[in-house]
Structure 1
């Protein structure tokens, strides 16, 4: 598909990528009521907490939502999309990745950018619900990378997944880490690292034989964290191997599900490899939209509804089977 032209033009100061990113992550407030939590037991003995919401009766159309690094189902970017999708006839299943629901997960391993087996477990679980005939996937940042890799790996053998939307996605994890290490992003990197290390101390309490105090205290960067924990806990040789094998970019060419990839040009988390323009031009299923503005999941728009939320709704509606 050709690149999708973007007409998103926020006013000052939201045309500044850092301001829109920070405002959307910290200041924005979204209220959605009526969540029902379901605990999905996984085959390896761990669990995922799923937060469901419906507009009226459960719909045959379900959107599975995936949050970003150190997020959860109640983040504003999740709630904003849930609110709009619910208002338009979709049921929403917001996934709290392992260890992100407020309850520590049971295993030493937790979640990471390429853990597609957990998404597959959710898809299979939702597919079995008797009223569900259509599934749509929506992911933000890490969650967007996860869903694109999942679709490219062709885990899903049933035909219930009709479309996907991936917002502010670090398609190349090496590239994104390089950007996060730049001076302009030091506050974001420190914020992520503080949250990740706090959870790692909890892991040490659960598994003292697996983690030493010294190894945690030596973690000074995000790459250090991935060397000490992410790679070792999830079967990778090292952080570099984790980034290579978990990036969605190599899997995009294999997509057979219509997928919208919305990455802002002024997203300071993303480098040039996160904008696969050449591939999108010749791809039948990858719809790439790269507005000049939007920061990292910061597509601020008037009246409380964000540009990415409207674009996701429009895209999903365009992929609803004819006559339904």
Structure 2
């Protein structure tokens, strides 16, 4: 089994907020833009059994190893977010084909489905992945996600992992208790709440441009923060009466991951300013699930140097390469 070295950034990169902000800015953004120009992605629309359509990007390795990695982005990210593109590159170079999935109403997919996205919709994502796998012939299938995408990945692996023949799953900084994550977001640096509020509000406005009959212009215009949006959109569009029941529906706490039957990793940082690391202790043990808490890394950062290289990307690659190679596979290659 692969055993990557712990994340040990230089002193000037150890601050949690520096890690979090750099994960999508500066050198990482420039690196992702350069990689994106080199990729030859094939955009596809996948169909779930209930009629949901999801937009994806498929990239094929030059020297394929017979395995595919399915990547899921975080809330208000997309298949073309910096971390998705950079992770795809390191996996492609290792011989993996990569399918980058856009969740409903993410990326350029707002027009595909009338109903709005919510974080409990892991079933439709699993069904869309099944549509892809039925049309392809891979020997091995891996699943990984960042932030909310990591939460989705673990739930999909738990609920549909056997049906999809998932051979391993990695979640980077997933929300374990979404209610606590929202509290941390509200109590943390205002820049984080402002970022997600603006992204979500823009996404909702974009949705409205395709489906004006949803008729929530007034509520959207009046909202000043995420809590304002939650108070209106959760009871009206999620099927849950309030935020407490909604957050509980996609929490990973307790026995939620009891049905995991494949190797699984939950990797997070002790200094994550958005996802409270203390919530990890509320996961009931599962012999298939490895909890890996690094001292540093911020939220989905793990930036190693000023060139924007990420320990998290390498960790995903090394885990999947180790599973593919079997017990003798070892690597700490840069």
TM > 0.5 fold call: yes
Instruction: Flag the 1:202–1:309 CA change in 2: closer, same or farther, 3 A.
Output: closer
Residue number in structure 1 paired with 2:332 = none
Instruction: Flag the 1:321–1:11 CA change in 2: closer, same or farther, 3 A.
Output: closer
CA deviation vs aligned residue, 1:178-237 (integer Å, no higher than 9, x gap): 10011x331111111111112222333444443333322332322332232245223222
Segments of structure 2 that go 5 or more residues without pairing to the other structure are 330-334
Segments of structure 1 that go 5 or more residues without pairing to the other structure are none
Residue 85, structure 1, aligned to residue 91, structure 2: yes
Secondary structure in 2 matching 1:39: strand
Conserved? CA contact 1:136–1:162, under 8 Å = yes
Residue number in structure 2 paired with 1:140 = 146
Conserved? CA contact 2:253–2:282, under 8 Å = no
CA deviation vs aligned residue, 1:299-319 (integer Å, no higher than 9, x gap): 012465311111111211232
Residue number in structure 2 paired with 1:267 = 272
CA deviation vs aligned residue, 1:68-98 (integer Å, no higher than 9, x gap): 0110111111111111111111100000112
CA deviation vs aligned residue, 1:21-72 (integer Å, no higher than 9, x gap): 1111122132141111111133444421110111126552111100001101
RMSD: 2.4
Residue number in structure 1 paired with 2:118 = 112
5 Å-filtered alignment, 1:187-206, equals 187-206=191-210
Conserved? CA contact 1:14–1:300, under 8 Å = yes
Determine the C-alpha separation between the residues in 1 that align with 2:58 and 2:136: 16
Aligned length: 317
Conserved? CA contact 1:67–1:95, under 8 Å = yes
Instruction: Flag the 1:216–1:186 CA change in 2: closer, same or farther, 3 A.
Output: same
Instruction: Flag the 1:217–1:48 CA change in 2: closer, same or farther, 3 A.
Output: same
Secondary structure in 2 matching 1:164: strand
Match for 1:289 among 286, 289, 292?
292
Conserved? CA contact 2:104–2:113, under 8 Å = no
Conserved? CA contact 2:161–2:260, under 8 Å = no
Secondary structure in 1 matching 2:161: coil
Determine the C-alpha separation between the residues in 1 that align with 2:228 and 2:237: 14
Instruction: Flag the 1:5–1:301 CA change in 2: closer, same or farther, 3 A.
Output: closer
Determine the C-alpha separation between the residues in 2 that align with 1:34 and 1:230: 38
Determine the C-alpha separation between the residues in 1 that align with 2:4 and 2:91: 23
Determine the C-alpha separation between the residues in 2 that align with 1:269 and 1:132: 36
Instruction: Flag the 1:313–1:44 CA change in 2: closer, same or farther, 3 A.
Output: same
Instruction: Flag the 1:315–1:14 CA change in 2: closer, same or farther, 3 A.
Output: same
Residue number in structure 2 paired with 1:8 = 7
Match for 2:240 among 236, 239, 251?
236
Residue number in structure 1 paired with 2:230 = 226
Residue number in structure 1 paired with 2:21 = 22
Residue number in structure 2 paired with 1:73 = 79
5 Å-filtered alignment, 1:51-70, equals 51-56=57-62, 59-70=65-76
Conserved? CA contact 1:172–1:249, under 8 Å = yes
Instruction: Flag the 1:235–1:319 CA change in 2: closer, same or farther, 3 A.
Output: same
Residue number in structure 1 paired with 2:56 = 50
